[in-house]
Structure 1
Amino acid sequence: MSYVFCVLFLLFNGLLNNYSVHCIEIVDLTSNGNVIWSLGNKNKSISVAGSVPGGVYTDLEKAGIIDNVLFGFNDVLTRWIAYDYWTYTGRFLLSQDSLNYNVTKLVLEGVDTVAFLELNGSPIGTTENMFVRYVFDVKQYIKVGENELTINFLSPVEAAKVRSDKYFTAPNCVPDVYNGECHANQLRKMQASFSWDWGPAFPSVGIWKPLTIELYNEAIIRSVTTHIDKNGSLWDLKIVAYLETRSTRIKGYLTANLSVNAKQYVTIRNDVNVLARDDGTAEAGLNFTISENVVSLWWPNGFGDQPLYDLKVSLHNQDSDEELSVKHIKIGFRTVELVEEDASNILGNTTAGNGLTFYFKVNDYPLFMKGSNWIPANILPELGSDKNTIDDLLLAARDAHMAMLRVWGGGIYESDYFYQKCDELGILIWQDFLFACSMYPADAEFLNTVKQEIEQNVIRLQHHASIAVWAGNNENEVALRGDWYGTKQQFDRYKEDYIKLYVHTIKPIVETLDPGRRYLVSSPSNGRKSEEDGYIAENPYDSNYGDTHYYNYFADNWDANIYPGTRFASEYGFQSFPSAKTLQTASNDQNDFHLDSKFIRHRQHSPGGNTYIKEQIARHLHLDDNDPKYFEKFIFYSQISQAMSMKSETEYYRQSQSDWYTMGALYWQLNDVWQAPSWSGIEYGGKWKMLHYFAMNFFSPVLVSPRLTLAGDINVYLINDRLVPIEDAKIVMDVFNWTSLEPIETNSYPASVAALTTKKQTTVEIWDRENKEEIFMRFSLKSDGVNSSPRNYVFPVSLKMAKGLRKPHIRPKNQLTQEN
C-alpha cells in the first residue's frame, strides 16, 4: 500500500487546493500494506508467515510452532529461538511512477537488533541498535514490479557473546535464578529482554516498529522540536525543523501554524536557505512570541488542566509555494525546573538543612511528585505499543493521583502514543536513557551507535509537555561505587568508561538538543553533588542530596520508622504475588499452585523473594503452614503486606516534606510483563493488586496521615497537595475496639496547613494504654474547603495480636434472598 502524504493531509483538513500531488509518497511495508512477509530460520526447517511490526516469538506463536510464550516454562523451552538465525523476507510491488522520484529512502523505525539488509539481492546496510531509526538510500536498487527486501538477523545471544569476548564489561551474567542470558550490556537492545528479577528472558529479533519507503523530489521535515520559555507575560517559542534532502542546499520557506484559545490561530513564516551536511541533513528554525493571554497553562495531574495546542510546521518550495512536507504535533505551555539549591534556605541550619534540595518546580510552584516506575508494557517490544494496554495502565495511574512516572532504563523508549497520552493525562515523565544495572563498554563502535540513539530519541520526544527530566542510567553509579559486579580492582578503568559514556558522550548531546531540561547522569545519585565529586560520589545514597532507591527486606516494612530520609524517593518497593486468577492463565496444573512447586520457584526471579514475603507476612498476620488453603491465603496476605508496606513508606515520604523536604515518591513498580511474583501494583493483564487500590488513598491530594512512633505515640500530619491552604479544619480520631463497628471514643483536633505542603498537627499519646491489642484508631478530616479526603488508620500492635476479632459470617445478599 502506498499513499501520497500531501493529498491525504489536505483531504483530512478540508483544504484541497492546487498543490502538486507529488510532494512525498509513502509506501507502507508493514503487514497492513500490500506486502507479503515470510519468516524462516537458518537451516530452512521453519518457514511461516511474518508480521511487520512484529517479532519472531509472536510470529512463531501465530503459526502454531510454539505455544503461548508466557505459559508454564515456555520462556526457557523456547530459548532455542534466540540461538537460531532468522530471516524476514518481504515482497512488494512498485509502479513506474514510484521510480520517477529523485529520492527513494527505506526507513526502518525499529529493528531488533543486529541485522543485515538486502534489496533485490544487493546489500544495502546493517543495523545494530533497536532504538535507532535507520534510513537507507535505495533508489539504485528498486525496480518496477515485484521487489524483495530481506532482513537477516543474527542471534542476539551469540552477537552479545562475540562483543563480550572482544570488549568484556562486567557483569558476566545475570543470577541463575533469573533463567536469563548473558552480556545484555553489549547490545543496544532492551536490557530486560535477557531477563530481570521481575521478568523472563525473550531475546527476540524482528522489525518491531513501522517500515516504509519514502519517495520525494526535494526535501522533507523528519522531526520537529519546540523550546518554550516564559518571559514575563510572554511565551517565547523556538521551533527547530530537522530536514533531509538529496541536494547540497535546501531553499524554500517554513511556516508554522499554532492553534490558540478561542479557536484562533497564529501563523509565522521564515525563509530557508541552508547548506546540508554530507548525509543530507540540515536544520531550520522559526521563532514565536505569544501572549500568555491566548494560551492556558498545562499542569500535572491533580494540579490543573492539560490544554494542548496543535502545531503544524510545513516546508514549502520557494518558487511554486508547493507544500513539500508537513509535521503535526501538540504542545503544552508550562515551565518545569529541577531545583537543587542550598537546603538551609528552606530547612534552616538543621541536620536536614545540610546539602541541596531536589524538587520539581512546575509553573513556579514546588510540587511533590507522586507516582511509580514504568517497565515495558510487554516483554515482546512489538506488543508494548498496544493502545488499549497503554490506556488502561496510564488511566490507572491517573486515577491513583499520580503526577509522574519514571520510564525505567532497562526497557525501551516508549511509543509516540504513550507520550501523547501522558501529555493528555498530565503525567510527567522522568525518562531514563536505556542503560541499567551494568557497566557498559565504551569502544568507538558502541559510542557511535549510542550517539545516534540519544540524538534521535531526544529529538523525537523533546516536544512533549510530559517530559520533565532526562537521566543517564539506572543504578550504575551506585553499582560502581558499591562494587556490585566485582569491579573494585578495576575501578579506575570502569570510572573512565562511565564518564566517557554518560558525561562526554550523552550529556553534551542532551544539553545541546534540549537545553531547557535537566540531565541527571544517573539515578539514584546525589545530583549536582555527584557531578562535583567527579560523577561517582563516595555515597550516592546520601540523604541530603539527589534521589534514592531504597529496599529493605529484613526490617518491618509496615513500620515507617525504618525508612531513612531522602530528598526524592525515585524507587522503593516490596514484592507480592499476583492473584490466583492471573496465575491460572500461566498454568492449568493444580500441582503448580503451592509455594514450593517447580512452577512457582521458576516464576520467582528475586533471590530469596518468597522467604522475604513469608517473613514480612509473619510479622503481622497469622498464616498456618498446615492450612489446606495456605497458598490461596499466602497470595492474599502477600498483597496485604505489600500494600501496607507501600502505604507506610509512601506516607512517610509525604510526611517528610515537612522536616526533610522530601519532594517525590515514585514506588517500584506500576505494571508487570508476566504472571509472577513482582513489585507491581497492577498484574499482567491489567488486574489491580491491593497496592493500586491503596495508592488511590495514600496519594490522595488531601490526607490525614498518622505515624506510630517508636515511643508508642502517634504523630498526626495533614498533607495538602492543593494550590490553596486548608484553614479552620478539624481532624477527628475515632477509637474502635475489634468487637464493635461503633467508636468507643472520639477526639478532635484543630487543623490547618498551607498550600502544597505538609504539617504535623498534633501528637496523640497512646503509649500508656493497657488495651492496645483491643483497639485501633481511625482518622478523618472535616473541612468546608475539602471535597474529599480518605480515612486513615493506625493499628497500635501487629494485626495478628489483635483481640476481640470474630468470624464475620458474611454471605452474599443474593444467597440470603434465595434462602429466604
Structure 2
Amino acid sequence: MKTFILLCSVLLIVNAKNIDLSSSENVLWTFMNKNNTVGGNAKVPGGVYSDLHANGFIGDILSEDNDVRTRWVAYDSWSYTAKFHVSRDDLTARVIHLVFEGLDTAAFITLNQDEPIGAVDNMFVRYVYDIKDKLREGENELKVSFLSPVAAANMRSSKFFAAPTCVPSVYNGECHVNQLRKMQASFSWDWGPAFPSVGIWKPVYIELYNGAIIRSVTTHTNKVGTDWKLDIKVYLETSQKITQIAGVLSAALQVEGKQILKTWTHVNASSEADGTLVADISLNISENQIRLWWPNGYGEQPLYELNVLLTPDQHQDEPSHKTLKVGFRTLQLIESDASQIFANETAGKGLTFYFKINGYPLFMKGSNWIPSHILPELGESQKDVVDALLISATDAHMSMLRVWGGGVYESDHFYEKCDQLGILIWQDFLFACAMYPTDSAFISTVQEEIEQNVLRLQHHPSIAVWAGNNENEVALRGNWYDTRPSFDKYKADYIKLYVDTIKPIVEDLDPARRYLVSSPSNGLESEKEGYIAMNPYDPHYGDTHYYNYLADNWNMLTYPKTRFASEYGFQSLPTLKTMKTAAKNEEDFSLESEYSRHRQHSPNGYSFIRTQMESHLKLDEKDPKYFEKFIFYSQISQAMAIKAETEVYRQDQANWYTMGALYWQLNDVWQAPSWSSIEYGGNWKMLHYFAMSFFAPVLVSPRLLPSDDIDVYLLNDRFVPIIGETITVDFYNWSSAAPIATKQYSANAEPLSSNLQKDIKINFSDYKKEEVFVKFSLQAAGIKSPPNYVFPVPLKSAVGLRKPNLQITVASSVMSRPNEQFEYSVNIRVDTVVLFLWMETDVKGYFEENGIVVTEPRSVVRFISGKYVAPQALQNSIKIQYYVN
C-alpha cells in the first residue's frame, strides 16, 4: 500500500533565451526523399504525411484505402533541412544547446553540412546537444535525416528478434514495431491503420544561457496532522560537464485567499558530469489554506500556482523559473487481504485492488484512451480535439482514463486538462502486445525515456498509477506469440526490462506512486510469483481485460468476477454520416465491399457483430436498407453489451469488491469498425449516451436471473446515504406508451456502495415474458437517476412491438446558454413504446439524450448548438432511426 498527494501541471519555458526553430518567417524548413524526387516546404513541428498532403503529393490519408496506397512513404528515407540566422551576441552565451523535444524516430543530425551532432532512436525522448563550438554567426543549416521506420525495424529485428514475427495480415500493417521506441500503433492495430511516419513532431529550439536552468520540477507531499509538507525537487541543468552552480532557490505557493507562502535555500554545489544537479526545497502548508482536489463527480479540482525560481549568485547570469499549477490530494492503491471485507472462501480469497482518494474508497468509472490522431504531431497540436474528448468523458461521469501502452505519452495540455476536469490517469508505459528486445542500446534509450517522462508527468494530480506494459505478462504466460519454446529467455527479458530497468527509475523519481509491472496483472501476487503469474487473470487479484465475442454479451451472467476491469469491450460500426467522410462510392456501403473488408482489422469482426445482433435483434438481409440498419443495430448491440457488463461490475462492488470499470475504448483514429464510444470526428455513438446512464452517480440497476427473478441493486457513488426513498417498477407491454402495472418499494443505500435491495421481489410469473418489459426509476429529492430496463426475452422475440406514430417537433422558443450556446427543445410524441430512438442532424451541435427508450406519450430532449439556427430548420434536418421487428 502506498500513499501520495500529487501536485500538478503546466511547466513553462525557462528563462534562457530561446531561438525557436519551428516553421516561421525566420526559419524555413524543407523536406526531401532519399533520391531527391519528392519534397517541398515543411511544417515543424510536423511529420512527413502531413507535409506530403500539404504539398499535394498525397490526398486525405484517412480516405478509402490510402493507408496502403501511401505506404511508399514509410519505405522511403526523408530529410528535413532548416536555414536560420544567429547573431554575434547570441554566440557569446556560455551555454548553447540544440533541443529536440521529439523526433520520430531513427535519425542522424548534422549542423552546417559536415558537422555531425548525433543520432537518435526514440520518439519519446528529449535530445539536447551542446553546439556552442559548432554554431556560427549568420546563416546556419540544420539537417535531420530520418531512416525508413519499416527498414529500421527490420534491421534491428534481424539482430535482436523478439516475438511476434508480424501483425495479423488483416491489419494491413508492418512488422517488428517492437524493435523501435515509436508509437506502437503506428505500424497498425486492430482498431487503426498503419502510418509509420517520420518527422520533427515536437518543438525544436536553441537554448542560450550563462548560468543554470530549471529543467524539471517534481513535488512530493505528506499530510501530517493538520499540515501538509510539500517537498520540491528541482532538476537543474547547465553545460554538459562538471560546473559549479551557486544561487538562491526559492518557491512561492499561492493558496486560498490569494495568500502567498514562500521559502528559499542557498545552492552551492558542483553538478554531475553531465551538467545536472538536483536541489531540494520544502514548504509547510496548513490544511485551512488549501482545498482538496477530487476526481470528477466527487468534488472540485482546485489548483494553486507554484513558482520555483533560481537566482544565480553571479549577477551576469540569468535567473530561471518554472510555474506549475498544483493540486492537493491523497491517493492509495489498496492491495490488502480481501477476507477483511468478505469473510468467505470465494470473494474473501486473495487481495483487494482499489483506489482510495482523500481517505475514501472510490469506484473508478471510465474508459481507455488511444492517441487522438494516428499522426502524432496532430495528436500533439490539435488541442480542441483533445478538449472535446476529455469533456465528453466527464459528461459521461468518468473519473479515470487509462492511457494505453501502444500510443504516446500525451501532451502537457492533455494532462493539464485532466487536472482541471478531475480525470485520473492510469498511465501505461509504451510497451504493448509484444515481447521486447533487451540489448544494451534498447535498454539505454528506455532508461532515458522513462526518466524524462516520469519527471515531466509526476507532478500532475491526474496521474494515479504507472503500469509497465499492456498485456505482455498474460501474452507470455498464455503463449500468444508461440513463445513457449523460449519461455525462459523471454521471461528473463521481461524481468530485465520492466523490473530491473523501469521499476527502479519510477520508484526513485516517484516513490509514493504504485508501479504495476503489467496490465492486466495480479499486482502484488504476480510479483510474488516471479512477475509472470501462473494465471494473470485470477479474479481474486489485480486488474483484468475481458473479451468474449461468442457468449451472449447482453446477458449479465456472462461476465466473470474481477477486482478491477481495466479493459473490456465490443465492436460497432461508425454512423453512415461519419463513414461518408472516408468512402465516396455507393458500392462501398456494403459489408461485402472491398472498402468494408479493408476497414475491419479485427479477425472475424463482422461475424462477431452479426452473431450478437442476430441473438437479440431481427434484421432481414434482403432489406434495401440492410447496411444502414446493420450500422445502427451494431451500435445498439455494443451499447447494450457494455451497459450489461459495466453494471455487473458496479453491482459486484457489493459481493466481490469490484472497484473499477474502464471500457475499451473512448476514441477513434479513423472511420472504421472499432470498440470506441466516440467516432473519429467527435460524434458520440449510442454507447457514449448509454455511458451517461450506466455511469450515473445514482442508478437503479436490475439483474435478470435464470429463474426469471430480478435482483435490484441501488448504486450510490455519493458521500451521503440514500434513506427511505422510492424505487418505482413499471411493467409495460410493447404496444402502449403507459405502464400496465406499477409497484413501489422503499430504497436505501450506504454512501459509496452497491446495495442489493433484498425487500424488492420481482418476477414475470404473472405475465407472458414475450409481451412485457420492466422499467426501474428512483424518485428522490435532489437526485437525478436515469431510468433502467429489463427486457426478459431477446427483442426479436418481443410480441406486440410495432411501428410507432412518431412526431418530432422543435419548439419555437430558443434559450441562450452561457458560452454562446443555444438550447432547443425537441418534442417527441408517440403512441407506443419506441426502442432506441436515435436522432441525427447536420446542424452543428448535440442532443443531450439519444438512443432513447421512449415509454411516455410525450417527452422532451434538449439540443445544444454553438450557432443559432431557426427552429424549423433544425426540425427539418432531424433524421430518426429506431428498432422495430
Aligned residue runs from structure 1 range 455-604, under 5 A = 455-604=451-600
Which letter does structure 1 place at the counterpart of 2:169? D
- Residue 784 of structure 2 corresponds to 788
C-alpha deviation, 1:816, in angstroms: 14
- Residue 211 of structure 1 corresponds to 204
SS of residue matched to 1:347: coil
- Mean CA deviation greater in 638-647 or 808-817: 808-817
C-alpha spacing 1:213/1:632, structure 2 compared with 1 (3 Å): same
- Residue 758 of structure 1 corresponds to 754
- Residue 856 of structure 2 corresponds to none
C-alpha spacing 1:418/1:32, structure 2 compared with 1 (3 Å): farther
C-alpha deviation, 1:591, in angstroms: 0.5
For residues 473 and 249 of structure 1, the distance between their equivalents in structure 2, rounded to whole angstroms, comes to: 40
SS of residue matched to 2:185: helix
Q: Does 1:666 align with 2:662?
A: yes
Give the number of aligned pairs.
799
C-alpha deviation, 1:766, in angstroms: 1.8
CA deviation profile, 1:131-155 (whole Å, cap 9, x unmatched) = 0000000111111111100000000
C-alpha deviation, 1:267, in angstroms: 0.9
C-alpha deviation, 1:320, in angstroms: 3.7
CA deviation profile, 1:632-659 (whole Å, cap 9, x unmatched) = 0000000000000000000000000000
C-alpha spacing 1:214/1:307, structure 2 compared with 1 (3 Å): same
C-alpha deviation, 1:406, in angstroms: 0.1
For residues 396 and 307 of structure 1, the distance between their equivalents in structure 2, rounded to whole angstroms, comes to: 21
C-alpha deviation, 1:710, in angstroms: 1.7
- Residue 303 of structure 2 corresponds to 308
For residues 769 and 24 of structure 2, the distance between their equivalents in structure 1, rounded to whole angstroms, comes to: 66
SS of residue matched to 1:45: coil
- Residue 18 of structure 1 corresponds to none
For residues 300 and 730 of structure 2, the distance between their equivalents in structure 1, rounded to whole angstroms, comes to: 36
Q: Does 1:80 align with 2:58?
A: no
For residues 578 and 542 of structure 1, the distance between their equivalents in structure 2, rounded to whole angstroms, comes to: 34
C-alpha deviation, 1:764, in angstroms: 3.1
- Residue 387 of structure 2 corresponds to 391
C-alpha deviation, 1:770, in angstroms: 4.1
For residues 298 and 667 of structure 1, the distance between their equivalents in structure 2, rounded to whole angstroms, comes to: 25
Would you say the 8 A contact 1:711–1:767 is kept in 2? no
- Residue 53 of structure 2 corresponds to 61
C-alpha spacing 1:323/1:310, structure 2 compared with 1 (3 Å): farther
C-alpha deviation, 1:797, in angstroms: 0.7
Choose which of 17, 21, 24 in structure 1 pairs with 2:16. 24
With the length of structure 1 as denominator, give the TM-score of the two structures: 0.96
SS of residue matched to 1:610: helix
- Residue 126 of structure 1 corresponds to 119
- Residue 737 of structure 1 corresponds to 733
Identity of aligned residues (%): 62
Would you say the 8 A contact 1:252–1:272 is kept in 2? yes
For residues 312 and 586 of structure 1, the distance between their equivalents in structure 2, rounded to whole angstroms, comes to: 47
Choose which of 39, 42, 54 in structure 1 pairs with 2:34. 42
Q: Does 1:188 align with 2:185?
A: no
For residues 46 and 346 of structure 1, the distance between their equivalents in structure 2, rounded to whole angstroms, comes to: 66
C-alpha deviation, 1:324, in angstroms: 1.7
Which letter does structure 1 place at the counterpart of 2:406? G
- Residue 3 of structure 2 corresponds to none
- Residue 111 of structure 1 corresponds to 103
- Residue 229 of structure 2 corresponds to 236
Would you say the 8 A contact 2:698–2:783 is kept in 1? no
- Residue 768 of structure 2 corresponds to 771
Would you say the 8 A contact 2:747–2:757 is kept in 1? yes
C-alpha deviation, 1:237, in angstroms: 0.6
Would you say the 8 A contact 2:248–2:312 is kept in 1? yes
- Mean CA deviation greater in 276-285 or 197-206: 276-285
Which letter does structure 2 place at the counterpart of 1:249? Q
For residues 260 and 316 of structure 2, the distance between their equivalents in structure 1, rounded to whole angstroms, comes to: 20
Q: Does 1:805 align with 2:801?
A: yes
For residues 711 and 763 of structure 2, the distance between their equivalents in structure 1, rounded to whole angstroms, comes to: 11
Choose which of 578, 603, 611 in structure 1 pairs with 2:607. 611
C-alpha deviation, 1:317, in angstroms: 1.1
- Residue 280 of structure 1 corresponds to 275
C-alpha deviation, 1:321, in angstroms: 9.6
For residues 248 and 307 of structure 2, the distance between their equivalents in structure 1, rounded to whole angstroms, comes to: 14
- Residue 293 of structure 2 corresponds to 298
SS of residue matched to 2:757: strand
For residues 498 and 752 of structure 1, the distance between their equivalents in structure 2, rounded to whole angstroms, comes to: 49
- Residue 629 of structure 1 corresponds to 625
For residues 712 and 112 of structure 1, the distance between their equivalents in structure 2, rounded to whole angstroms, comes to: 57
- Mean CA deviation greater in 713-722 or 762-771: 762-771
For residues 392 and 527 of structure 1, the distance between their equivalents in structure 2, rounded to whole angstroms, comes to: 33
Task: Give unpaired runs (5+ residues) of structure 2.
Answer: 1-9, 810-871, 877-885
- Residue 448 of structure 1 corresponds to 444
- Residue 342 of structure 1 corresponds to 337
- Residue 861 of structure 2 corresponds to none
- Residue 684 of structure 2 corresponds to 688
For residues 218 and 322 of structure 1, the distance between their equivalents in structure 2, rounded to whole angstroms, comes to: 5
Task: Give unpaired runs (5+ residues) of structure 1.
Answer: 1-8, 14-21
C-alpha deviation, 1:23, in angstroms: 5.7
- Residue 90 of structure 2 corresponds to 98
C-alpha spacing 1:787/1:567, structure 2 compared with 1 (3 Å): same
C-alpha spacing 1:54/1:817, structure 2 compared with 1 (3 Å): closer
C-alpha deviation, 1:102, in angstroms: 0.6
C-alpha deviation, 1:162, in angstroms: 0.5
Would you say the 8 A contact 1:23–1:217 is kept in 2? no
Query: Once superposed, what is the RMSD of the aligned Cα atoms?
Result: 1.6
For residues 511 and 75 of structure 2, the distance between their equivalents in structure 1, rounded to whole angstroms, comes to: 43
For residues 700 and 413 of structure 1, the distance between their equivalents in structure 2, rounded to whole angstroms, comes to: 29
Which letter does structure 2 place at the counterpart of 1:84? D
Aligned residue runs from structure 1 range 403-422, under 5 A = 403-422=399-418
- Mean CA deviation greater in 769-778 or 307-316: 769-778
C-alpha deviation, 1:765, in angstroms: 3.5
- Residue 717 of structure 1 corresponds to 713
Which letter does structure 2 place at the counterpart of 1:221? I
For residues 421 and 163 of structure 1, the distance between their equivalents in structure 2, rounded to whole angstroms, comes to: 38
SS of residue matched to 1:310: strand
SS of residue matched to 2:763: coil
Which letter does structure 2 place at the counterpart of 1:179? N
Which letter does structure 1 place at the counterpart of 2:343? G
For residues 31 and 166 of structure 2, the distance between their equivalents in structure 1, rounded to whole angstroms, comes to: 30
For residues 535 and 747 of structure 1, the distance between their equivalents in structure 2, rounded to whole angstroms, comes to: 53
CA deviation profile, 1:396-451 (whole Å, cap 9, x unmatched) = 00110000000000000000000000000000000000000000011111000000
Which letter does structure 2 place at the counterpart of 1:268? T
- Residue 371 of structure 1 corresponds to 366
With the length of structure 2 as denominator, give the TM-score of the two structures: 0.89
Would you say the 8 A contact 2:211–2:318 is kept in 1? no
C-alpha deviation, 1:750, in angstroms: 1.3
For residues 404 and 532 of structure 2, the distance between their equivalents in structure 1, rounded to whole angstroms, comes to: 20
Which letter does structure 2 place at the counterpart of 1:383? L
Choose which of 433, 436, 442 in structure 1 pairs with 2:432. 436
For residues 594 and 225 of structure 2, the distance between their equivalents in structure 1, rounded to whole angstroms, comes to: 65
Aligned residue runs from structure 1 range 324-335, under 5 A = 324-335=319-330
C-alpha deviation, 1:767, in angstroms: 4.6
For residues 650 and 520 of structure 2, the distance between their equivalents in structure 1, rounded to whole angstroms, comes to: 19
C-alpha deviation, 1:494, in angstroms: 0.2
Which letter does structure 1 place at the counterpart of 2:179? Q
